[in-house]
Chains A and B, each alone.
Chain A
Amino acid sequence: MLLKYVMRRVLATIPVVIGVTLITFSLMHATAQNYIPGVDLNPALKPEDIEAIKRYLGLDRPLYIQYLTWLTNLVHGDFGRSMTDGSTVSSHIFDRLPATLELTVTAILLGIVISIPLGVTGALRRGSKLDHFFTALSVGGFAVPAFWLGLILILIFSVQFQAWGLPFLPSGGVITPGTEGGDLLDRLVHLIMPATVLSFVYISIWSRFTRSSMLEVLGQDYVRTARAKGMTERRVVYLHALRNAVIPLVTLVGLELPALVSGGLVVEVVFSWPGIGKLLYERAIQTDYTTVLGITTFAALLVIFGNLLADILYALLDPRIRYA
């Protein structure tokens, strides 16, 4: 039954959460052991003051207590503080998360919307020139480095178009600097290139997957039954077959949901997109270990819960699991 299934999955994730937090905590301890927030900012601090601050922050307590504190903080949404400027990681995450989600969710939606027709067409016209073309596109698309694709698109649609006097796309950012950000068209124009680049890899994989899933379903007995009932080919393909063929695709898409936060890093950097990935990169360059680890922990927890969600979603969609 559904409830039992969910309970089992939840129980299985607990050790993983512990494991991940243990690792990030250890790394945190190893890299920023004696870090006091703000110590660099105030050189006038005396050693006694530093000791006092240490005691205040609990840095003199035994390791396992520190770990438990870290864990408790996580539960309350406290992911630590930056080494370089003392700001809270969670505030950064809060600031940047919407931008990242805007990018990755759009990319995923774009991926789904384009992959399904591509895959279905490939299956229906199997072996045709069109099918071969789509397959070549998929295989090629999977091999293109995302950062290079982004670069080339910028060079063409931003730089070159501008040089040619054509209307051009902005090369970075979420909105045109100086504006308030309320203009939908402006946001869209900024979103289009990075989202396309990010969706490229999704489309490559998902369209081929849809195609093979569709082919498999079309060979099933129940499709033959639908035809024997005199259903039109359209109904057989788009109702009887497709409904079954997309189930595995949902699992695949679900596998991407956990990567919602981290998947866009390279694209964010190339397009100066102010998201979490770019934040991590910027902070990494500054060797701001605590921020980097705080973000990593956040992302890892998201992965774990994202996987859980995907499992539940799958169970909901497939009546064989739901009503088992």
Chain B
Amino acid sequence: MAETVLEVRNLTTHFKTPEGVVKAVDGVSFELHAGETLGIVGESGSGKSVTALSVMRLVPRPGQIVKGEVRLKNRDLTSLTEAEMQEIRGVSIAMIFQDPMTSLNPVFRVGWQVAEPLFVHQNMDRIRALAEADKMLGRVGIPNPKERARDFPHQFSGGMRQRAMIAMGLTTMPPVLIADEPTTALDVTIQAQILELLRNVNREFGTATILITHNLGVVAGMCKRVIVMYAGKIVESGPTADVFAHPKHPYTWALLKSIPRLDADQRQPLRPIEGIPPDLIDLPSGCSFHPRCPFKIERCKRDTPSLIPVGDTQIAACWVTQSGVELKDA
């Protein structure tokens, strides 16, 4: 078993709004091991992005980490001062974001932005830092990196910008990389290229990666392990192959069933998940998924299930599956 580089325990992040307290992340725990790619999957509002931002301590106001620990090599990040945290960001953990056009500063040259962590964190002199940045741009697949480094972000195409962002995150060789929906804003053909790049990066540099996405296909191709989130909680987790083959939570099951398949019978109707995502201020009682769950029993309305092992390799939070019931169509 590879060593654990990042351990999140019972992370809880709330947003205090005039309408009430939004429980964006509610008691999330997981581990990230060296060199692995972990997927976090969920729909909008499931809390996956806020979880990542909480790890980085970048949650915007009025959000706040209320409870929990984030351990990076045995340091609890939630207890560090802002100055100490600034030493960690970009050095020990790097994060890349969804929309590379708005995530790159329009008035600074790309090479400079990629090199910035080097001359700020590692006190490298400008010339050397820029040279390193050029090299990194080349390694992420940007042609003519020396010339392109002097360009501004708007002169890059979408795919190239995302490559530049990845370069920017990796210049300091951080042990952990968090990628928040890195391909969502890109064309489908470019998506494949970027994912390929991330795979190579993971192999070459051994960077432990957390890949956040709502796209199950991406997870299938990239992540050995996956975490499924719903309404701020983890509902299932385990090796990707197992979770996809026999999901142990109705939400995961419904998600997989809702994907249109080319080989399905044309007369079969599409199967969306019934109902709408819950209001995070006013969550349903008991299991948050129960209003939309086709398998629910009485207990689901009353008691909130906890995450326990179900099956050999997976853990899930569901009364139904925990009692041994197999999920399948009626």
**B contacts with A, residue count (CB < 8 A):** 33
Give bound CA distance, A222 to B95, whole Å: 12
Residues of A168-227 at the interface with B, using a CB-CB cut-off of 8 Å, are 220-222, 224-227
> Which of the candidate stretches A9-17, A63-71, A78-86, A232-240 sits at the interface with the other chain?
A232-240
Q: List 26 A-B contacts (CB under 8 A).
A: A220-B102, A221-B99, A221-B103, A222-B105, A222-B106, A224-B97, A225-B97, A225-B103, A225-B168, A226-B105, A228-B58, A228-B95, A229-B94, A229-B116, A229-B168, A230-B85, A230-B89, A235-B120, A244-B105, A244-B106, A247-B107, A318-B107, A319-B106, A320-B154, A323-B154, A324-B154
Docked complex Cα distance between A221 and B162 (Å): 14
State whether B107 touches A319 (Cβ < 8 A): yes
Q: Does B91 contact A (CB under 8 A)?
A: yes
> How far is B116's CA from A112's CA once the two chains are assembled, in angstroms?
29
Find out whether the CB atom of A230 lies under 8 angstroms from the CB atom of B88: yes
B154 CB to closest chain A CB, in angstroms? 5
Given contacts A225-B105, A228-B90, A319-B152, 15 further A-B contacts (CB under 8 A): A220-B102, A221-B102, A225-B104, A227-B89, A228-B58, A228-B94, A229-B116, A230-B85, A230-B90, A244-B107, A318-B107, A319-B154, A320-B152, A323-B152, A323-B154
Most buried by B among A225, A233, A243: A225
Q: Which of B86, B94, B151, B155 contacts A231 (CB 8 A)?
A: B86
- The answer, yes or no, to whether B302 is at the interface (CB within 8 Å) is no
Which residues of A sit under 8 angstroms from B107, Cβ to Cβ? 243-244, 247, 318-319
Using an 8 Å CB-CB cutoff, how does the interface string of B71-110 with A read, 1 for contact, 0 for none? 0000000000011011111110011010100111111100
Bound-state CA distance A240–B116 (Å) is: 11
Q: Could you say which residues of chain B place their CB within 8 Å of the CB of A220?
A: 102
List residues of chain A with CB within 8 A of the CB of B97: 221, 224-225, 228
Among A231, A232, A318: residue with most chain B CB under 10 A: A231
- Inside 8 A of A230's CB, which chain B residues have their CB? 85-91, 117, 120-121
A230 to B152, CA, bound (A): 22
The A contact surface, by secondary structure, is helix
For the complex, give the distance between the alpha carbons of A307 and B97 in Å. 39
Which residues of A are found within 8 Å of B90, using beta-carbon distances? Answer: 228-231
Which residues A86-118 have CB closer than 8 A to chain B? none
List the B residue with the shortest CB-CB distance to A244. Answer: B107
CB-CB nearest in chain A for B88: A230
Size band of the interface chain A makes with B: 20 to 34
- Least distance between A179 CB and chain B CB atoms (Å): 47
Smallest CB–CB gap between A51 and chain B, Å? 66
Give, as a whole number of angstroms, the nearest-CB distance from A40 to chain B.
Answer: 61
B56 interfacial by beta-carbon distance below 8 Å:
yes
Question: Are A222 and B154 in contact, with the CB atoms below 8 A?
Answer: no
The 10 closest A-B CB pairs, nearest first, are A230-B89, A230-B90, A229-B90, A221-B102, A222-B105, A221-B103, A228-B95, A319-B152, A230-B86, A225-B103
Tell me the minimal C-beta distance from B127 to chain A in angstroms: 20
A324–B152 Cα distance when bound, in Å, is 10
Which B-chain residue is minimally distant from A229 (CB atoms)? B90
When C-beta atoms are compared, the residue in chain B nearest to A322 turns out to be B152
CB distance from A258 to the nearest CB of B (A): 26
By a CB distance below 8 angstroms, the chain B residues around A318 are: 107
Report B-chain residues with C-beta under 8 Å of the C-beta of A243.
107-108
A235 surroundings in chain B (CB, below 8 A): 120
* Interface of chain B residues 97 through 136 with chain A (CB within 8 A): 97, 99, 102-108, 116-117, 120-121
- A: residues with CB less than 8 A from B are 220-222, 224-233, 235, 240, 243-244, 247, 318-320, 323-324
A233 touches B82 (CB 8 A): yes
Bound-state Cα–Cα, A222 to B110, Å? 12
Task: Write the chain A residue with the least CB distance to B87.
Answer: A230
Assembly CA distance A143 to B43 (angstroms): 51
Residues of A within 8 A of B91 (CB): 230
Contact assessment for A222 and B168 in the assembled complex, using a CB-CB cutoff below 8 Å: no
A319 to B151, CA, bound (A): 10
Taken together as a complex, chains A and B put the C-alpha atoms of A247 and B107 apart, in Å, by 10
When distances are taken between beta carbons in the complex, the residues of chain B under 8 Å from A247 are: 107
What residues of chain B lie closer than 8 Å to A244, measured between beta carbons?
105-107
The 8 A CB mask of B147-168 against A (1 = contact, 0 = none) is 0000110110000000001001
What separation, in Å, do the CA atoms of A230 and B95 have in the docked complex? Answer: 10
The residue among A230, A243, A318, A320 with the most chain B CB atoms within 10 A of its own CB is A230
- How many angstroms between the C-alpha atoms of A228 and B97 in the bound complex? 10
The CA-CA distance from A254 to B88 in the complex, in Å, is 42
Q: In whole Å, how far is A157's beta carbon from the nearest beta carbon of chain B?
A: 42
Rounded to whole angstroms, the CA-CA distance of A135 and B83 in the bound complex is: 31
Contact call A222/B102, Cβ cutoff below 8 A? yes
Contacts of A222 in B (CB 8 A): 102-106
Smallest CB separation, B28 vs chain A (Å): 20
Q: Which residues of A contact B83 (CB under 8 A)?
A: 232
Q: Which residues of B lie under 8 Å from residue A228 when comparing CB positions?
A: 56, 58, 89-90, 94-95, 97
Interface centre among B83, B89, B168 (most CB of A within 10 A): B89
Residues of A within 8 A of B56 (CB): 228
**Which residues does chain B contribute within 8 Å of A323, judged by CB atoms?**
151-152, 154-155
B152, A240: Cβ atoms closer than 8 Å: no
Contacts of B60 in A (CB 8 A): 224
